[in-house]
Chains A and B, each alone.
Chain A
């Protein structure tokens, strides 16, 4: 296809570029003998080998290509830190340089590769690959940029090999779950012991406290075993975004941050779908078509960032896009149209709350169902899944600028620090994470601290007024489905008022209870099927006396 003169010119370039690259590789390898972990040199040596390989392929020298490919793969392992450069590897690679140079001389002489297929050299290079595989740490997330087939093949192995050097252990999930269950029992036994002895407390107190401390440490320890980096789950969204972008003719770039963040594997399973849904929404509803974006003065490529981080036992997940944002007025109008809110609510509702309406059941409707997202069961499913995990979601959005969905989810689900409170004979558990403070008012104080506003009791705490919700109203499940309401006259007649001040996202409110008991760490189990559809309950736990108490879902109480 190319004439002789052209071919000659290309061959000349082939020799001169390869020789320059080989010289640089040689210098680099020698420098690496004194600074074996210098990434800059490793990268440049890798790239030069990559160039030589590409050149050999371009000019059709298959044997040289195979040899340099193998050397490139080894260099890739080095620059990723899966292998450490040592003299043996250095000698091996220098051997490759010599072989390539000899071969170039042969090609220069007669225009063709020699008979040598470099089998021995390639075999030796691949020995090192095996070593890297053995060094592969357990639970390793995929490294940043492996460009060769060999490297990719390594990563596709389903079962990572545990390594002696990393001192990692492998534990089947069944065994881990069993261990977890034992620890739960241990915790329950401790609670029983504490209950039985509570009437005779003297020397026992210290012993009990120690035991409790040990159990707590053990629980924390075991929970650590269940943690996994979220990165591998996040990785799967590249494919999702790619498919959606192709289907919608949009241009989208997904960036992942905080892939090393560790999450309980149960939580991980549950949030996988939630995140997928939010990312799907971001591409489908958020990001505009490229021409639309350009007309708006935006870059044609829409950006979606998925960021994970961890703080004080909570996982924060943020999905941010730079798309069209959520039009608050449209949401308000639509919610009104669907009778999700009253006209008065529509007027008074702050923007943040209006935004939350997109997660109300029945908000999305059939007429705007697109094939990708939205079947009328979109965001309410997300909300339900997050509630179930004891998490919260907040939405911030600016029309034309984009949206941000921020999820907060407990890192583990199994053991929750709570405060026990009572309503009549029943005990309920309130997650400690939501508690701001505890207040009790007696006699006259009740009348001075509680005031009525639009018939609803409000409590005054240091000059701030908070809505006051009565636990007894919330758990009086009346046959007609209506909530009981404790009015001002009843409140003012109360001899004492015990209030747990709670916070859920930006909302603060007082929860009036019959009694405040003690703090505890409870092993929380999913709700029995009979209770599963009561939104204000998040789970159940077996109490020391064998009775069952319920964990309250504070995010749901807020909505009442």
Chain B
């Protein structure tokens, strides 16, 4: 399997660390990039990106705004908003852009579920 790249954007360092652990132990052929907010994510995004896992509530732009920007740059990117709970209309706005959801907290089965679908 060719190397794929994922991006996690979360202002919680614990959440990023958890994702890092899951990726290195269970999905070693994926490379994972970490950003603490939307601006950082946009600045570091590589030319090719396969999956983005984005926290909704972050300083600066929120997850939905970042998703829109990333999707504009990477039309085929699989974007997932990581949320505990989200207002109905935000949910609808995200879905209308083809964005998926992961219920907080992220764990191995949830990530596996997503990565398995991206071949």
Residues of chain A touching chain B, judged by Cβ–Cβ distance below 8 Å, are 1-3, 6, 9-10, 13-14, 17, 43-44, 47, 50-51, 53-55, 57-59, 142, 145-149, 151-152, 235, 238-239, 241-242, 244-246, 249, 251-254, 290-291, 293-294, 299-301
20 other contacts beyond A54-B84, A55-B12, with CB at 8 A cut-off? Answer: A6-B21, A9-B17, A17-B13, A54-B104, A58-B14, A58-B15, A147-B56, A147-B85, A151-B87, A152-B85, A238-B92, A241-B92, A242-B95, A242-B96, A245-B95, A251-B96, A251-B98, A254-B93, A299-B71, A301-B72
- Tell me the total A-B contact number using a CB cutoff of 8 A: 116
Q: Is the pair B96, A254 in contact by a Cβ cutoff of 8 Å?
A: yes
Residues of B within 8 A of A57 (CB): 84, 104-105
Q: Report if A14-B14 is in contact (Cβ < 8 Å); known contacts: A245-B96, A254-B93.
A: yes
Residues of A within 8 A of B98 (CB): 245-246, 249, 251, 290
Bound form: Cα–Cα A53–B13 in Å: 13
Q: Is the pair B95, A145 in contact by a Cβ cutoff of 8 Å?
A: no
Q: What distance in Å separates the Cβ of A288 from its nearest Cβ neighbour in chain B? A: 12
CB closest chain-A residue, reference B93: A238
Q: What distance in Å separates the Cβ of B27 from its nearest Cβ neighbour in chain A? A: 13
Residues of B within 8 A of A299 (CB): 71-72, 75
Bound form: Cα–Cα A244–B93 in Å: 12
Q: Report if A10-B12 is in contact (Cβ < 8 Å); known contacts: A2-B25, A54-B105, A252-B97.
A: no
- Asked if B88 CB lies within 8 Å of chain A CBs, one says yes
CB closest chain-A residue, reference B86: A147
Bound form: Cα–Cα A172–B96 in Å: 37
Residue in contact with B17 in the complex, picked from A13, A152, A252, CB distance below 8 Å = A13
Bound form: Cα–Cα A291–B97 in Å: 13
Bound form: Cα–Cα A291–B105 in Å: 33
Report, as a range, how many residues of chain B touch the other chain. 35 or more
CB closest chain-B residue, reference A294: B75
Residues of B within 8 A of A251 (CB): 71, 96-98
Q: What distance in Å separates the Cβ of A243 from its nearest Cβ neighbour in chain B? A: 8
Residues of chain B touching chain A, judged by Cβ–Cβ distance below 8 Å, are 11-15, 17-18, 21-22, 25, 56-59, 62, 68, 71-72, 75, 83-90, 92-93, 95-98, 104-108
Residue in contact with B87 in the complex, picked from A6, A44, A51, A146, CB distance below 8 Å = A146
Bound form: Cα–Cα A245–B13 in Å: 34
Bound form: Cα–Cα A245–B94 in Å: 11
CB closest chain-B residue, reference A252: B96
Q: Is the pair B68, A242 in contact by a Cβ cutoff of 8 Å?
A: no
A-B contact pairs, 20 of them (CB 8 A): A2-B21, A6-B25, A14-B14, A17-B14, A43-B59, A47-B58, A54-B14, A55-B14, A57-B105, A58-B14, A59-B14, A146-B87, A149-B85, A152-B87, A238-B93, A238-B96, A245-B95, A299-B71, A299-B72, A299-B75
Q: Report if A17-B12 is in contact (Cβ < 8 Å); known contacts: A57-B84, A300-B71.
A: yes
Residues of A within 8 A of B95 (CB): 242, 245-246
Q: What distance in Å separates the Cβ of B14 from its nearest Cβ neighbour in chain A? A: 5
Q: Is the pair A253, B68 in contact by a Cβ cutoff of 8 Å?
A: yes
Q: Report if A58-B104 is in contact (Cβ < 8 Å); known contacts: A238-B92, A241-B96, A254-B93.
A: yes
